[in-house]
Amino acid sequence: MGQDLKWKINTMPKTDDRNLPLMSESEVRKARTFHQSFPQYSITPLADLNAMAEHLGIGRLAVKDESYRFGLNAFKVLGGSYAMARYIAEETGKDISNLPYHTLISDELRKEFGQATFFSATDGNHGRGVAWAANKMRQKAVIYMPKGSTQTRLNNILAEGATATIETVNYDECVRMAAAAASKTPHGVVVQDTAWEGYEKIPAWIMQGYGTMANEADEQLGERPTHVFVQAGVGSLAGAVVGYFTNKYKENPPTMVVVEADVAACLYQGAMANDGNIRIVDGDMDTIMAGLACGEPNITSWDILKNHAACFIVAKDPIAARGMRMLAAPARGDIPVISGESGAAPFGALVTIMTDEGCRELRDALKLDKDSRVLLFSTEGDTDPERYKNIVWEGKER
């Protein structure tokens, strides 16, 4: 398994860190208060895998299980819903604290704000979250999905009343399609978690929305984690999680490790270049980790990551598949976690680091040992049940 994993310890030059305050505790608290106003809100479980921790030789292993989030089987709705609400608040001159769920869905707000069309690109989870939030808020949603997206994930989005299509291009091209369509549509708005020059406000709101998950996990853990593993596509989730824990534990932050799919490892490529500039990965990005198949980094989160991530890891598909299987059937006494392909990648990477002698150098560099308290985020459940069964039950790679 060691040959399926590469890494780069972060030695990039630091910046003025101007984006770190986006993920301050006060900003994250605003987002969580907003999410708590939803009748569908509940805190998702934190699975303490004590027997697995003993097996791996670490002190504590906790996995945040986002398969329970709002009944949507993934965390992404946290970002999309918050960004859409912040946009509506700004357009109507209100503070987000005055736009809880019951106000957003009211006839009064509909008369005041009207109806916007929210455009987005997605492999499934983000688009489903945007479509769900738009449906609840009585808005419109148009979703573009990259080639290779599954019919099941498309159907989940269509079921929320959105317009959605699977295109013949990759994720990053779908983002450009969404932006172009929004620019030609009256009251058209792009809701995307990747930021580029001139498009930074909404992605920042999305990152803050993700902070709800990090804040819950921090409270549930009840102690400072020594290590946090988090997956990355464009890097918005990773930047949100790393930003939150850096702000929370300013004097002694955890060691933060970012895990990417090998065919879309834009952050890793940036770390390898070591000059602090972004790198873009192009091509089909054929991987089971569909949620991580993004080749163009979020420039806002990249600034946070290059200042505070300790290590960037590249994982091939077998790493994610191993993570899925081991979480589904953990060590005896532990609670199983149904984790999808992108959700299980960090756990698969951790297992490989702790059990493969080819990773001893990395294990030592990260100081992973019997005193380590490791936090991971399983960001999705079986969002494509047939693919999940093929991998976990049938032993296939997709």
Name residue 188's beta-bridge partners: 117
Distance CA 336, CA 332 (A): 10
Distance CA 22, CA 246 (A): 11
Which of the residues 8, 76, 306, 316 is marked catalytic?
76
Told to judge if 140 belongs to the known catalytic residues of this protein, a careful annotator would answer no
The pLDDT, as a whole number, for residue 227 is 98
Told to judge if 184 belongs to the known catalytic residues of this protein, a careful annotator would answer no
Per residue in 233-258, pLDDT tens? 999 999 999 999 999 999 999 999 99
Res 1 pLDDT > 90? no
The pLDDT, as a whole number, for residue 90 is 97
C-alpha dihedral sign at 370, 235, 207, 146: negative
Residues of the chain with pLDDT > 90: what percent?
96
Distance CA 377, CA 397 (A): 22
Closest CA to 66 of 377, 326, 388, 297: 377
Average pLDDT over residues 142-152: 94
Per residue in 69-78, pLDDT tens? 999 999 999 9
Question: How distant, in Å, are the alpha carbons of 47, 334, 393 from that of 321?
Answer: 19, 19, 11
Report the Cα–Cα distance between both ends of the chain, in Å, rounded. Answer: 17
The pLDDT, as a whole number, for residue 284 is 87
Helix (H) or strand (E) holding 93: none
The pLDDT, as a whole number, for residue 72 is 96
Check if the beta carbon of residue 383 is closer than 8 Å to that of residue 340.
yes
Res 2 pLDDT > 80? no
pLDDT band at 397 (very low <50, low <70, confident <90, very high): confident
pLDDT band at 3 (very low <50, low <70, confident <90, very high): confident
Beta strands at 46-48 and 60-65: parallel, antiparallel or unpaired: antiparallel
Retrieve residue 9's tokens.
């310890």
Strands of the sheet containing 140-145, edge to edge, are: 163-166, 140-145, 117-121, 188-190
What predicted TM-score, i.e. pTM, was given to this entire model? 0.96
Check if the beta carbon of residue 140 is closer than 8 Å to that of residue 78.
no
Distance CA 44, CA 69 (A): 6
The pLDDT, as a whole number, for residue 398 is 75
Helix (H) or strand (E) holding 339: none
Q: SS3 of 257, please?
A: strand
pLDDT band at 298 (very low <50, low <70, confident <90, very high): very high
Per residue in 156-209, pLDDT tens? 999 999 999 999 999 999 999 999 999 999 999 999 989 899 999 999 999 999
Closest CA to 277 of 6, 22, 15, 20: 15
Query: 286 exposed, middle or buried (CB, 10 Å; 0-12, 13-18, 19+)?
Result: middle
Angle in degrees, CA 266, 353, 215, rounded to 5: 65
Per residue in 46-99, pLDDT tens? 999 999 999 999 999 999 999 999 999 999 999 999 999 999 999 999 999 999
Which of the residues 4, 65, 123, 303 is marked catalytic?
123
Per residue in 368-390, pLDDT tens? 999 999 999 999 999 999 999 99
Closest CA to 86 of 215, 207, 225, 255: 207
Average pLDDT over residues 345-374: 98
Q: SS3 of 269, please?
A: helix
